Structure 1
């Protein structure tokens, strides 16, 4: 009878995975049956096959799972993470909507978000980028400013946050995520690629999600492909509201216990919005997420 051992998924490639066993060996594993539900960061049981392969027979209960979904598909990012580093840049222009969705997804999963503003060596647009991030700073989100090309600054500002934690690295294409990964883990040698100035956008340089062990640290860093969309159709109405923590103290003043904070009278959230205590862009995103949730059900 084949031996069954414990391991952690360190990379996902569609229908197959690489699992690092507790012995340190990496095994090429395939799921049992057709269902493919494992994510990078999952702790799993593997039935050994031969010298290098295995069958993934069980997934241990997760602390959390970060993923995106819309009415067509679901894309997993990672499981069992302590925090997510959301990488944005001075250039090319980052999408406020995408950043807001990623933050909402992290908060809904009880994962601590940290925003990394990269490419601060580009002075043209730096003040504007800082201004666009101010609403998140006001919410208490940690915002770090770095140039990924300056490895010493990356070491000083980011590495201390990663020790003893599993961190997901997430962001749009061309934000410099791969360069940041290389600064933190030189052995990763992630591919980097200049973005197209003409299109003000970038191409994907990371194609698979992969877990790396930080050198001289007990932390892990999970790198994921650049994202251009971040659907949250899988979130419940309660999850969506949890993704907007600035609502919490105001909703206590809502007249109705099941208030949706959209059109109801005597809504504490809407009153705070009118007083300028809630950023209108954040509330507009909240409304879009509710509309998408309603559309997904029809």
Structure 2
């Protein structure tokens, strides 16, 4: 590495504006990418060329362990890089989307990232029904943690052991109480977000700010804006298939090695769906994602 280059970790992102914490120092810099396309995510390790005392040019993104993002025809949204796990926040009110939940879990499986679900607002009367809807997801090996983000002691007791010494992406649909949960885990999160928003030149518009917080007990938590869509058009057919790990035993029974699990005779997956061994709802999601990605390629 050239003497005038520094290395650091991206801790905040808004558009093409980034905050980079410089390695082995207490310094951070307001940085910009080189060229028009950034492709930089919070959690990335980068090289920067210093400009003045407080700014820098990002010259290179260093190799990643993983990248968690969604994509559709219009654009891609990078959530985070180099994460250990996903913490997906749901609630009974407003009603969460089974489709969006399923897509987020497919993205996690495809990226090799463990997923956990927080069922927030556990004091609401609709929570029992919401919990029932999650039984099939829990059967896939995705733990469900029921709590109220308004009870900070409960949040710490249930989640801090899970979060310590790991880098976790906090993700959720709008309105699920994700911000309240963040504030329970990181008491100064609101003040820190405002400070970084000002540093990145975004004023009070923090809704599209992605930010990494260091947890009091160790570990990092990356907060990303709420979402209402989750395209997976960056995934190929094999990657989509890997996003449904419950298909794996049935795939071994498929007659054809290149079976798409849609209509082929002797398909082990279709047989498992018919017998109830694989959720028909999950298989329908698999078919939708395949169809969407094929349609996108025609544009």
TM range (shorter): over 0.9
| Superposition pairs of residues 283-298 of structure 1, within 5 angstroms | 283-298=283-298
Cα distance in 2 for partners of 1:140, 1:231 equals: 23
Q: 1:48 Cα shift?
A: 1.2
User: Deviations along 1:224-250, whole A, 9 cap, x unmatched?
Assistant: 000000000110111100110110011
Cα distance in 1 for partners of 2:244, 2:214 equals: 32
User: Deviations along 1:64-122, whole A, 9 cap, x unmatched?
Assistant: 10111111111110000000101000211000000000000010000111011000011
Cα distance in 2 for partners of 1:48, 1:171 equals: 35
Picking from 59, 64, 67, the partner of 2:66 is 64
Instruction: Determine if contact 1:178/1:190 at 8 Å carries over to the other structure.
Output: no
Alignment-derived partner of residue 255 in structure 2: 255
**What is the CA RMSD across the aligned residues, in angstroms?**
1.5
Instruction: Determine if contact 1:2/1:49 at 8 Å carries over to the other structure.
Output: no
Alignment-derived partner of residue 264 in structure 1: 264
- Correspondence 1:99 to 2:101: yes
| Superposition pairs of residues 1-298 of structure 1, within 5 angstroms | 3-22=4-23, 23-122=25-124, 124-189=125-190, 206-217=207-218, 219-298=219-298
Q: 1:190 Cα shift?
A: 7.1
Cα distance in 1 for partners of 2:191, 2:144 equals: 24
- Count of residue pairs the alignment pairs up: 284
SS at match of 2:77: strand
Instruction: Determine if contact 2:107/2:232 at 8 Å carries over to the other structure.
Output: yes
Instruction: Determine if contact 1:181/1:190 at 8 Å carries over to the other structure.
Output: no
SS at match of 1:186: coil
User: Deviations along 1:152-188, whole A, 9 cap, x unmatched?
Assistant: 1100111111111110000100100000000000010
5+ long unaligned stretches in structure 2:
193-204
Alignment-derived partner of residue 197 in structure 2: none
Q: 1:84 to 1:39 in 2, by over 3 A?
A: same
Cα distance in 1 for partners of 2:121, 2:208 equals: 22
Instruction: Determine if contact 1:2/1:48 at 8 Å carries over to the other structure.
Output: no
Q: 1:264 Cα shift?
A: 0.5
Alignment-derived partner of residue 197 in structure 1: none
Cα distance in 2 for partners of 1:2, 1:110 equals: 36
5+ long unaligned stretches in structure 1:
192-203
Alignment-derived partner of residue 198 in structure 1: none
SS at match of 2:188: helix
Q: 1:2 Cα shift?
A: 7.2
SS at match of 2:135: helix
SS at match of 2:37: coil
Instruction: Determine if contact 2:160/2:217 at 8 Å carries over to the other structure.
Output: no
Cα distance in 2 for partners of 1:12, 1:99 equals: 24
Cα distance in 1 for partners of 2:34, 2:27 equals: 20
